[in-house]
C-alpha cells in the first residue's frame, strides 16, 4: 500500500510541471554561444544575430528599425482554414536596414520567426532565426543585405507554416510575391469543394474559395482529367454489380463457401483470359511496319 502511495506521489510530482500553464517569460538573459547563436535554458533561442557587421555592398546602416511580431493561434482566426499565424503577414524595409525584432509567442507551444536566403558568409546557413517555447518574448537583431529581394519569414515547427504561420519580408522593391501568404497571395494548392459524386455538376467558374481574403481572386484549381472517367467507370461497375447480384445470389444459394470461392476464382480466371485475348486481338489490328 505504502509502495503504491509512493508511486502515485512520484508520478504526480513529475506530471505537475507539465500540467501547469507556463507563465509568460521574458527571455533577456541569453547565453552567447558565439557566431550570433544565443540560447537560454527556458526555450529561448536566437541564431544569426548580427548587431554590428555590415553586409557586403552596404556602406552604412541605412536605417535602424524595431518591430514587434506576435505569433499565435488567435491571429489565424481571420484566415479560414488556417491554424497559426503571425499578427502581420507583410513587411518592407530599405536595403541595409538594421532591424530589431521583438518576437512574442502568445501560445503555449513553440513558435519561430525564421528568415532564409540571407548571405551565407554573414549568416550561418543563410538564416536568421528566433524561437520561443511557450508564452514569452525574445529580441534579436540583424542587418539586411543590399538589393531588392523578397524573403520568406515562417515558423519551421512541423506544419505550422502550412497551417498559416508565414509572411513575406521585402527588402527594397522586393522580388515579387511569395505564394500562400495568408491574406496577401492565393494558395498554391486550392481546396476543391466540387462535389465529386455528381457527374453532371458543372464547375462554377466564379467560385472564390476564400471570401475573407478579398485582395486576391482565388486561383481555379486544375480539373483532373481522369475524374470524370473514374466516376463513369464507378457507375458502370455499380450497375453491373446490381444486375449480377440477384443472379449470383440464386446461383450461390445451394453452394458451400469453398464452392463459391472456387467458382469465383474460376470466373476471375476466365475474365483474365478473355481480357488477354481481347488485348491480343486489338494488337493484331495495329498495322505492322
> Residue 76 contacts by C-beta under 8 Å, 6 or more apart in sequence?
82, 83, 84, 85, 163, 164, 165, 182
Q: Which of 27, 82, 149, 160 binds Cu ion (CB under 5 A)?
A: 160
Smallest gap from Cβ 19 to Cu ion, in A, equals: 22
Q: Are strands 97-105 and 63-72 parallel, antiparallel or unpaired?
A: parallel
Measured CA to CA, the distance from residue 179 to residue 186 in angstroms comes to 6
Please, which residue, 143 or 178, has the CB nearer to Cu ion?
178
Residue 129 lies near Cu ion (rule: CB under 5 A): no
Residue 98 lies near Cu ion (rule: CB under 5 A): no
Stretch that binds Cu ion, among 61-69, 125-133, 156-164, 177-185 (CB under 5 A): 156-164
Strand ordering across the sheet containing 136-143 = 25-26, 136-143, 97-105, 63-72, 85-86
Residue 82 lies near Cu ion (rule: CB under 5 A): no
Stretch that binds Cu ion, among 120-128, 165-173, 177-185, 211-219 (CB under 5 A): 165-173
> Residue 221 contacts by C-beta under 8 Å, 6 or more apart in sequence?
189, 190, 191, 192
Please, which residue, 65 or 110, has the CB nearer to Cu ion?
110
Smallest gap from Cβ 269 to Cu ion, in A, equals: 56
Q: Which of 70, 82, 111, 149 binds Cu ion (CB under 5 A)?
A: 111
Residue 155 lies near Cu ion (rule: CB under 5 A): yes
Measured CA to CA, the distance from residue 244 to residue 225 in angstroms comes to 30
Residue 98 parent element (H or E): strand 97-105
Q: Which residues bind Cu ion (CB under 5 A)?
A: 111, 155, 157, 160, 165
Amino acid at each position: 500500500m505504502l509502495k503504491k502511495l509512493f508511486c502515485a506521489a512520484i508520478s504526480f510530482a513529475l506530471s505537475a510541471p507539465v500540467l501547469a500553464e507556463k507563465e509568460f517569460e521574458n527571455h533577456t538573459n541569453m547565453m552567447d554561444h558565439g557566431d550570433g547563436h544565443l540560447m537560454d535554458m527556458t526555450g529561448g533561442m536566437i541564431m544569426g544575430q548580427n548587431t554590428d557587421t555590415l553586409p557586403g555592398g552596404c556602406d552604412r546602416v541605412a536605417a535602424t528599425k524595431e518591430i514587434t511580431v506576435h505569433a499565435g493561434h488567435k491571429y489565424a482566426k481571420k484566415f479560414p482554414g488556417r491554424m497559426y499565424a503571425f499578427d502581420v503577414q507583410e513587411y518592407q524595409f530599405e536595403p541595409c536596414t538594421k532591424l530589431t525584432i521583438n518576437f512574442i509567442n502568445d501560445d503555449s507551444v513553440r513558435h519561430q520567426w525564421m528568415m532564409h536566403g540571407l548571405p551565407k558568409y554573414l549568416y550561418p546557413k543563410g538564416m536568421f532565426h528566433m524561437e520561443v517555447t511557450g508564452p514569452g518574448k525574445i529580441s534579436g537583431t540583424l542587418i539586411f543585405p543590399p538589393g531588392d529581394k523578397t524573403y520568406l519569414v515562417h515558423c519551421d515547427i512541423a506544419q505550422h507554416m502550412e497551417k498559416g504561420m508565414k509572411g513575406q519580408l521585402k527588402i527594397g522593391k522586393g522580388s515579387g510575391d511569395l505564394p500562400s501568404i495568408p491574406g496577401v497571395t492565393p494558395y498554391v494548392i486550392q481546396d476543391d469543394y466540387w462535389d465529386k459524386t455528381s457527374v453532371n455538376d458543372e464547375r462554377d467558374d466564379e467560385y472564390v474559395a476564400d471570401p475573407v481574403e478579398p485582395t486576391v481572386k482565388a486561383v481555379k484549381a486544375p480539373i483532373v482529367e481522369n475524374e470524370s472517367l473514374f466516376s463513369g467507370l464507378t457507375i458502370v461497375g455499380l450497375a453491373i454489380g446490381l444486375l449480377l447480384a440477384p443472379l449470383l445470389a440464386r446461383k450461390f444459394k445451394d453452394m458451400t463457401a469453398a464452392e463459391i470461392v472456387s467458382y469465383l476464382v474460376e470466373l476471375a480466371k476466365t475474365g483474365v483470359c478473355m481480357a488477354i485475348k481481347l488485348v491480343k486481338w486489338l494488337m493484331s489490328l495495329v498495322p505492322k511496319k
